Amino acid sequence: MKWNSKLYDNKHSFVAEYGKSMIDLVNVEEDQKILDLGCGTGIITNELAKEGATVIGIDSSIDMIKKAKLNYPNLNFQVGDATNLCFQNYFDTVFSNAVFHWIPNQKKLLCSIYNSLKDNGKLICEFGAKNNVFQIQTAFEKALKQKGYSYSSEFYFPSKDEYKLLLEETGFEIQHIIEYDRPTLLYDGEKGLRNWVCQFFASYLSNISYEETEQILFETEKFCKNSIWKDNQWIADYRRIQIIAVKNK
């Protein structure tokens, strides 16, 4: 997945805005060490650092980290692999918003996070749950097939029970885990769904001509019209898992 930091900030800032609502779950006192895992352009990293905590933002995207450093030059941002963190027993909290569903190897991810946490350190995260953006994925798949292209989801959207088991197998003690619907307004009016598809399905469109891409986007919108077009705006069918888990000694 190649991220467009400008499109992400301009058209998908709702991702960070929802992430801000989770900050209340984090202890951000001065003596805390926090990892913002999958920090994007640094918006939440900056919020976490405002109370004086030591915060490191890590993202696999060079473009995102470059933008984060421009946005917040006084903060520590690094390009890194979430499944292979170079920290041992270092963080009080690993925080992550809307990232885990992009990572295929969840066991390796959770082991990496577990090892980076201090004893009794916390993982606080939220990401896509089972059937997240089901309507959009279904419509996009149909639109691709009409043009002779295939679709195989890049996302990992587990159920709460499925992920609870993975956490426990890694050694985490679960304090809080919920799975819920979170209908999400896509910014930019009629262009909202098109912007979303161009960002999050970019890998499918990158090798398709402009003309065919426009047709696929139009058909995706048409297929979604009866399900997520409401009151002259696109309301994406988001579902989320929210977690607080503690590293056992």
pLDDT single digits (tens) 141-171: 999 999 999 999 989 999 999 999 999 999 9
pLDDT single digits (tens) 193-208: 999 999 899 999 999 9
In 3D, which of 153, 35, 164, 169 has the Cα closest to residue 107?
A: 169
Percentage of residues in the chain having pLDDT higher than 90: 84
In this structure, which CATH number among 3.40.50.150, 1.10.3720.10, 3.20.20.70, 3.40.190.170 belongs to the domain 5-130+155-187+237-247?
A: 3.40.50.150
Residues 84, 76: Cα–Cα separation, whole Å? 18
Residues 184, 50: Cα–Cα separation, whole Å? 27
pLDDT single digits (tens) 122-131: 999 999 999 9
Q: At 41, phi and psi to the nearest 5?
A: -90, 10
pLDDT at 5 over 60: no
SS3 203: helix
pLDDT at 189 over 90: yes
* Domain range annotation of the chain: 5-130+155-187+237-247
pLDDT-based confidence at residue 3 (cuts at 50, 70, 90): very low
Residues 68, 134: Cα–Cα separation, whole Å? 31
Kindly calculate the radius of gyration of the chain based on its CA atoms and give it in whole angstroms. 18
Q: What share of the chain is helix, strand, coil (3-state, %, to 5)?
A: 45, 25, 30
Structure confidence at residue 6 (pLDDT): 54
Answer yes or no: are the C-beta atoms of 158 and 226 closer than 8 Å. no
Residues 134, 119: Cα–Cα separation, whole Å? 38
pLDDT single digits (tens) 8-56: 454 444 555 666 778 888 988 888 999 999 999 999 999 999 989 999 9
> Helices in 54-191 by DSSP H: which ranges?
62-71, 106-116, 134-146, 160-170
Supply the pTM of this predicted model. Answer: 0.89
